[in-house]
Structure 1
Amino acid sequence: TEFVTNRTLDYNGYMPRKYSPLLLLQSAYEEVRSVGSCTATLVILRYDYLRSINLGDSGLMILRFADGKWEVLYRTKEQQHQFNFPYQLGPQSEDKPQHGHMHGLKVEPGDALLIASDGVWDNVYDAELIGMISEAFPHGAAPLDAEAVAGAVTTVAAKVVAQ
């Protein structure tokens, strides 16, 4: 939370072109004083280009509607030292922002961006997530009701965890 608060308050609005996801993550990381650690996924969308950095087992998936169905355009890969020991940022961690994986790609209007923690990625298969998007938007992009999609994903993840 401290990571997000540090940068969101500063950049909520105009984002100078020179800022990269790594620069923003590094800047937030340097200001954290709280004990603990966290994984991180940060994206910057400028016009039709999305740049991201991912560290740990949180991540993102970008879907595009093509040929009558939703397809995965891009999906981050988990970064783990070993099973259930993801890369994490924090004052006591040896992991640093520059250990994150950076990626950039051109996006189009109607692409769907899902950002989630391991609570979703570990408990909901990618095919299930694609199914939820397909069910909500069977003919491609419409004005996206992000809250409805987020609620559906959270409900499925919670059911899996409760089993």
Structure 2
Amino acid sequence: MLSGSCYLPHPDKEETGGEDAHFICTDEQAIGVTDGVGGWADVGVNAGLFAQELISNLVRAIQKEPKGSFNLTRVLREAHANTKVKGSSTACIVALTDKGLHAINLGDSGFIVVRDGCTIFESPSQQHDFNFPYQLESGNGADLPSSGEVFTIPVASGDVVISGTDGLFDNLYNSEITGVVEHAIRAGLEPQVTAQKIAALARQRALSKSSRTPFSTAAEKAGFCYYGGKLDDITVVVSYISGSVSE
């Protein structure tokens, strides 16, 4: 699994680094994304610090797991227990093993798997209500790691996994992401360049006041009158699957 990433903080949060965080563990064949919940800013808390500490703890927990055999619920539980700063965050972890792709997702970050120009898997978004995602908080004040959805997905050489925060999935439909991936594969682009191209398109949509987006569609379904994208931190991690994997 060869991975590359791109992170575009919200334009208003560039000085503080934004509220997303992510990791790529090459040796462990694992990636993860977290998205600090921006509502904490109302009480003077930078939730990006929670997301960053959670990421650091996720990496430590993954490195303790038996190689090629991940218990991602245990990983998320241990990382959450060791995250002490104030704030809350969504979390998504994806790992490649000889039995396929293992993943856990809590909240409205997530991932899709693309094969031959089609989305063959999409992790469902976990939300209590419109724009109110499941989230981990320091202590037990919010959702628990056990609320995360666990997935095992057979993958084949040539598949592409696109993971990201809601800054990606609120602004681009899967067909738009897949279109960028297909063009990138044909052009022989590396995962990082592909991630940059996806993130750039997501930012373009986020700035639009008129484009139809997944966020505007969801807002409409929830009874709101909303047009265009949603300006947010955008994290994109692109992973190319190659070699001998489970079919």
Structure 2 gap ranges (5+): 1-51, 209-247
Q: Which residue of 2 aligns with 1:157?
A: 202
Letter in 1 for 2:118: E
Q: Deviations along 1:58-84, whole A, 9 cap, x unmatched?
A: 00001112xxxx111210010000000
Distance apart, 1:134 and its partner CA: 1.3
Q: Secondary structure at the match of 1:7?
A: helix
Aligned to 1:50: 101
For structure 1, the 5+ residue unaligned runs are none
- Contact 2:167/2:202 (8 A) holds in 1: yes
* Matched residue, 2:178: 130
Q: Which of the residues 143, 157, 164 maps onto 1:95?
A: 143
Instruction: Determine if contact 1:39/1:58 at 8 Å carries over to the other structure.
Output: yes
1:64 corresponds to which residue?
A: 115
d(CA) in 1 for partners of 2:107 and 2:64?
Answer: 27
Give the AA of the match of 2:87. G
Identity of aligned residues (%): 29
Give TM-score scaled by structure 1 length.
0.87
Offset at 1:17? 5.2
* One-letter identity of the residue aligned with 1:71: C
1:37 Cα deviation from its structure 2 partner = 0.6
1:146 to 1:12, Cα distance in 2 relative to 1, 3 A: farther
- The number of residues matched between the two structures is 156
- 2:190 aligns with 145
Runs ≥4 in structure 1, deviation > 6 angstroms?
Answer: none
TM-score normalised by L of structure 2: 0.59
d(CA) in 2 for partners of 1:77 and 1:14?
26
